[in-house]
Amino acid sequence: MKATQKLHDAGQSIWLDNITRNLLTSGGLRRYINDYSVTGLTSNPTIFDLAIKNSADYDDTIRRKNAGGKRGEQLFFELALEDCTAAADLFRPIHDRTNRVDGWVSLEVSPKLAYDASSTVAAARELHAQGGRPNLFIKIPGTREGLPAIEESIFAGIPINVTLLFSREQYLAAANAYMRGVERRIAAGLNPYVPSVASLFISRWDVAVNKKVPEAMHDRIGIAIARRTYKAYLDLLASDRMLRLINFGARSQRLLWASTGTKNPKASDVLYVAALAAPHTINTMPENTLTALADHGNIGPMLSHNVEDAEKELAGFVRAGIDLDATAEQLQREGAESFVKSWDDLMSRIEEKTAQLKKAG
């Protein structure tokens, strides 16, 4: 049995952190679903930027939409929705079979709206409506500025993937925004079942810290942060507040491990998969991590509920001069800035592609 199947059977969802038109049209995504137990997918502007840059798969659609007067963001979202809805249709049987727990596809709102909660909620509502699929998550960053938009979107009934979380504290802030939205729905007499996931980024911790600590401590802090957050997640799932919401018909927000591709060539290519196997969580993997897991990965014991070892390890990083709170804030701030840059690059790519196609006739 492949490690992917073992992980799925243990109760962790495997999502693909990639989408391209070719992956859909070639049957590649369907094969990952059938052979590698993939049950969901995440996307981001960088993924779409590379897909448009490195292939001609979108050229005919871009020509057609250009002829209809579509440019810039409007053109991109129409391209992205075509891909995401096609993927959502492939995952729909999983979505139905798991009673909406799994089978999701994620699409991100424009990061240009990061400091405008009302515009973010309006964009999330519009994108979800345009997608017309029940298994489409809209991604909103879990920054301080994003939290009100997350709460309002949940209250509006929009399924949300909270992204850009780097610490237990940031996760709890996002989870509280989610629960506030659900509680407001209950108070308003609305259906409290609005699905959501909270995405904790892992490998960026090690990229940021490895150069500041001895080699023996390399590639360990991201997993320790994840284990600390997992304990908070379990505590929240068992809390009176969450149990009350579940009693009204809500579902818990699931924890998702993001940024799980190994960046250090000296480390295992499935480092963040083997270490973070846990039921009722999700691991969204780059394509090369997914195929490595299926080829030679090994799934050991599930992630321990006991975080004493993780806390001891994190204390060691503090003694080595790492300010955990400040680093988490820095990583989130840099991540938000990176999202904006990726978005700008994507818009430039679409303009460039449009000009090329117009010149070619």
CA–CA distance, 133 with 162 (Å, rounded to integer): 19
* Predicted pLDDT at 25: 96
CA–CA distance, 90 with 110 (Å, rounded to integer): 25
* Predicted pLDDT at 114: 83
* Polymer length of the chain: 361
CA–CA distance, 144 with 174 (Å, rounded to integer): 9
| Catalytic residue status for 70 | no
**Where would I find the H helices in 142-282?**
146-155, 168-187, 203-209, 221-237, 240-247, 271-274
**What's the mean per-residue pLDDT of the chain?**
96
CA–CA distance, 200 with 276 (Å, rounded to integer): 12
* Predicted pLDDT at 300: 85
pLDDT digits (tens, 9 = 90+) for 71-96: 899 999 999 999 999 999 999 999 99
Positions of the chain with pLDDT under 50 = none
Query: Domains in the chain, ordered, with CATH?
Result: 3-356 (3.20.20.70)
CA–CA distance, 343 with 290 (Å, rounded to integer): 26
* Predicted pLDDT at 358: 85
What the block records as the tokens of 175 is 């989870």
* Predicted pLDDT at 194: 98
* Predicted pLDDT at 308: 86
Catalytic residue among 53, 65, 112, 139: 139
The owner of tokens 């997993």 is 223
* Predicted pLDDT at 84: 98
* Predicted pLDDT at 270: 97
Using alpha carbons only, what angle is made at residue 115 by residues 75 and 83, rounded to the nearest 5 degrees? 30
